[in-house]
Amino acid sequence: MPVIKVEMFSGRSDDKKRALAKAITDSFVEICGGKPTSVHVIFDDVAKSDWAVGGELCSDLYPDQPATAEK
């Protein structure tokens, strides 16, 4: 049973997560084989204030940028 964990900034809609889960599952099955029902995708939504890059919080690095790339 493959488990694929996706860590990203919080704020994406359930529709975006559904589409991503399907795309990841379909790609895994196409490349590695197996049944789609055996592929588990776990989303770990993280606040920008709980993620740091280069010793700086992402909320400080990107204060004006929304947490999501949705348009």
66 given a catalytic annotation: no
DSSP state, 38?
Answer: G
Outline where DSSP puts E strands in the chain: 3-9, 40-46, 52-53, 56-57
Helix (H) or strand (E) holding 65: none
Choose the catalytic residue: 2, 36, 63, 66: 2
Enzyme catalytic residues: 2
